[in-house]
Structures are given as structure tokens and as C-alpha cells.
Amino acid sequence: MDQAALLLINFNATSLYDKIILNLKKHFNLNSKTIIPEIDLSKYYSEERDQYYSTKLIEYALSNFSSFKKILMITDFDLYVPVLTFVFGEAQLNGKAAIVSAHRLYPEFYGLPPNEDLFLARLIKEINHELGHTYGLRHCLNFECVMHSSSNVDEIDIKGEAFCKKCLEKISPYL
């Protein structure tokens, strides 16, 4: 079984670590090594936006953890790329690194009461979506497929955590 680096950057939902690791085994056949990296985050922070630049964080991960088959970063920080207001995550298409922001996945972000089950479901979907990109998958038109593009949490809530049959066929040889 291949090994993934699970980099937790200011991610405080410690009670969910085991569930995330199980998800990586279930959907990607990956064993995970959990790492809390020592990182100077000021290099990746935009004061103007009050967000962190996801592409630069991916570059950091690739520079420091390239020995792993896959690299997944999870953070509670809000992420951006210059052309968008925010991103739930970003990944290298056909690459090895992905990052997911939990920041906008918490129900509390929208003024709702905490709901760990809903938060976990959203987080797993975004993890699977971004890692799917690292295996070469593009956005899928099937609304139930985890690879369907999401621009808001309502769209995340609609889709499933798994790949549709068509997407699964594309990545099965790599799993």
C-alpha cells in the first residue's frame, strides 16, 4: 500500500483524524503518515485578503515532502488563488499534492450551530475531490459524483463522497 503524507496545518479537529485516515485507505488505498509541519506561514499569507495562497502552500509541500506518493494538506485557514474569492481546495492535476481548507466547511461559518457529522461529510468530499485531481480526474458532470465541481457548500452537500462509475473506472488502475 502506498503512503501519503497527511500534513495538518493549523487544523484543530483532532477528533476527526482517524476518520480522515480511514477515508484515505477506503477510497485511495493509501496509508497515511500524519505530520504537523513546522512552517513559517507568513510567506503564504495575504494581509489584503486575510487568506493564504493555496498554490504556494502546495509548492512548499512538494519541496519538503516529495518522497511520499501523495501529499494531502488540511488546514483551518481560508485559502485563495488570485483569480477567485476563495477556494475549498486545490490540487495538482496528475500530480501528487493537494490542499483542502476546512474554513468554509464548518456550519458555524454560515451562522449555524456546530454539526460534526455535516462538517466531516463536507471535509471528506473535498478531500476525495482534490485527491481525485491528483489521479488525473477532471470535473464531472454527474451531480452525485465527488468530482462534480462545487462553488458553495450547498453543492458540496448535494454530491456524494464517492466517485461515479465513469470516474472510478478512470482511476482504478492507479489505486
Q: Which residues carry out catalysis? A: 130
Dihedral, CA of residue 76, residue 80, residue 84 and residue 88, to nearest 10: -30
Cell digits of residue 104: 468554509
CA distances from 144 to 1, 131, 136, 164 (A): 28, 17, 19, 7
Cell digits of residue 34: 500524519
Contact 88, 150 (CB under 8 A): yes
